[in-house]
């Protein structure tokens, strides 16, 4: 057995990146001795229930003292510095392992590693369109940027020497822009096993949105979109499902929903309830702009819903590039939704992506097989990524 360290900041955030990390742990634990290097003490049983995974044999190790303390004290306030410290810890302990696997983007891992990029940190501040970076990041030529970059120890040669994976072609384009090398695309693991969609006629005429309740998810705008659809004569409602990670924003969303009986802010619910909501509603909606992939969108499609998504980022691949399901603004979303909901039931059914297509392209077994292959290639010293672009 090989000794492998999986590097991830906080599994209890319960987002798409954490789903990737849990599936990587599950994929590797049977054939390798796996250690999770992290900043928290994750509840693996709770995470298994949440993500429908079966991680049972992983050693948990906190990455030193400073980064975990920063995370405990400040949450996401010093997000980039925390990841820089996490990467530095992993690098300093790399000789204890045969392979490092980062599931939280590119870190300063000088040794043999696999790095799964949801969206690049852009340590070298090279991106042409940095406003598209959805997570907190370093600012060009700031003291904070210089500190984080120095701590992270990332340079182009380091990035190019490791096996880079990206969650979509769109993210791969962004990584290539930042570092001049193109990652291999490995779509993230979408859990389709529990979805048993109701027939179209049985489904409620409402929307479901799934994701963490925080500002970048644009839930306020989603409520405005549903308002607009109702003003057009469509008696639809909205379920907002996902853990709260921004209490201030949650209060804003709750205030909007207070006088709208057709908006239900459910928050975090059991996985079985989430699956039931998706399978019993006709429509899904996603608000995050420049989404790197959109695992929640893929789950909506897997459950037989018609998902409406912003017309930027990587989520367009999930809706098969259908223009009628992609919107540029709140007003555009209302127009697109009005057009689709005014169509016959037969026409609406035709807009759905077949669940078997979602399983084939984005399913979990496919993901775990690809991860095992990449890890085996790296352990055997074979190249996994393309050479630098010119």
Confidence (pLDDT) at 87: 94
Confidence (pLDDT) at 125: 65
Confidence (pLDDT) at 390: 47
Confidence (pLDDT) at 237: 99
- Extract the residue ranges of the chain whose pLDDT is less than 70: 111, 124-141, 382-390
Are both 2-189+364-379 and 200-362 of the same fold? yes
Is domain 2-189+364-379 in CATH 3.40.220.10, yes or no? no
d(CA 161, CA 384): 10
Q: Which SS3 state, helix, strand or coil, does residue 75 take?
A: coil
What pLDDT, in 10s, does the model give residues 243-288? 998 999 999 999 999 999 999 999 999 999 999 999 999 999 999 9
What pLDDT, in 10s, does the model give residues 41-80? 999 999 999 999 999 999 999 999 999 999 999 887 888 8
Residue 91 has, within 13 A of its CA and on its CB side, a CA count of 19
Q: 194-222 in b/e burial notation, b at 16+ Cβ within 10 A?
A: bbebbeeeebeebbbbbbbbbebbbbbbb
Confidence (pLDDT) at 155: 76
Q: Could you tell me how many helices (H) and strands (E) the chain has, helices first?
A: 15, 13
Confidence (pLDDT) at 130: 60
For the whole model, what pTM was predicted?
A: 0.84
d(CA 54, CA 133): 32
Strand partners, 313: 291
Which tokens in the block code for residue 35? 């250690």
Alpha carbon 25 to chain centroid, angstroms: 16
d(CA 8, CA 68): 12
Which tokens in the block code for residue 118? 């949801």
Q: What is the CATH number of domain 200-362?
A: 3.40.50.2000
Q: Where are the domains of the chain?
A: 2-189+364-379, 200-362
Dihedral angle, C-alpha 375, 377, 382, 387, nearest 10 °: -60
Which tokens in the block code for residue 135? 């997570």
């Amino acid at each position: 057995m090989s000794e492998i360290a999986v590097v991830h900041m906080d599994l209890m955030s319960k987002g798409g990146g954490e789903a990737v990390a849990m599936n990587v742990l599950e994929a590797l634990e049977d054939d390798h001795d796996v250690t999770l290097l992290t900043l928290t003490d994750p509840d693996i049983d709770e995470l298994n229930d949440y993500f429908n995974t079966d991680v049972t044999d992983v050693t948990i190790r906190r990455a030193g003292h400073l980064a975990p303390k920063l995370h405990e004290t400040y949450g996401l306030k010093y997000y980039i510095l925390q990841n820089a410290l996490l990467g530095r810890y992993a690098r300093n302990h790399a000789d204890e392992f045969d392979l490092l696997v980062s599931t939280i983007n590119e870190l300063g891992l000088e040794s043999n590693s696999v790095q799964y990029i949801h969206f690049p940190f852009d340590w070298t501040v090279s991106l042409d369109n940095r406003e598209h970076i959805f997570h907190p990041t370093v600012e060009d030529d700031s003291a904070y940027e210089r500190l984080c970059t120095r701590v992270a120890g990332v340079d182009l040669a380091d990035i190019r020497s490791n096996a880079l994976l990206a969650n979509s072609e769109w993210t791969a384009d962004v990584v290539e822009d930042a570092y001049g090398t193109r990652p291999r695309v490995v779509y993230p693991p979408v859990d389709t096993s529990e979805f048993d969609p109701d027939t179209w006629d049985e489904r409620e005429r409402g929307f479901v949105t799934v994701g963490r309740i925080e500002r970048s998810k644009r839930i306020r705008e989603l409520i405005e979109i549903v308002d607009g659809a109702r003003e057009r004569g469509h008696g639809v409602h909205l379920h907002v499902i996902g853990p709260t990670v921004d209490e201030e924003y949650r209060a804003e969303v709750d205030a909007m929903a207070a006088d709208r009986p057709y908006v239900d802010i459910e928050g975090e619910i059991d996985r079985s309830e989430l699956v039931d909501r998706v399978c019993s509603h006709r429509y899904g909606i996603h608000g995050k702009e420049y989404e790197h992939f959109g695992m929640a969108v893929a789950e909506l499609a897997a459950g037989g819903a018609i998902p409406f998504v912003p017309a930027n980022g990587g989520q367009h691949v999930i809706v098969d590039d259908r223009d009628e399901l992609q919107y540029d603004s709140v007003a555009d979303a209302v127009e697109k939704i009005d057009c689709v909901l005014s169509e016959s039931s037969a026409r609406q059914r035709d807009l759905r992506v077949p669940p078997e297509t979602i399983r084939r392209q984005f399913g979990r077994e496919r993901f775990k097989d690809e991860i095992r292959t990449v890890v085996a290639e790296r352990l055997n010293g074979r190249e996994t990524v393309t050479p630098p672009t010119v």
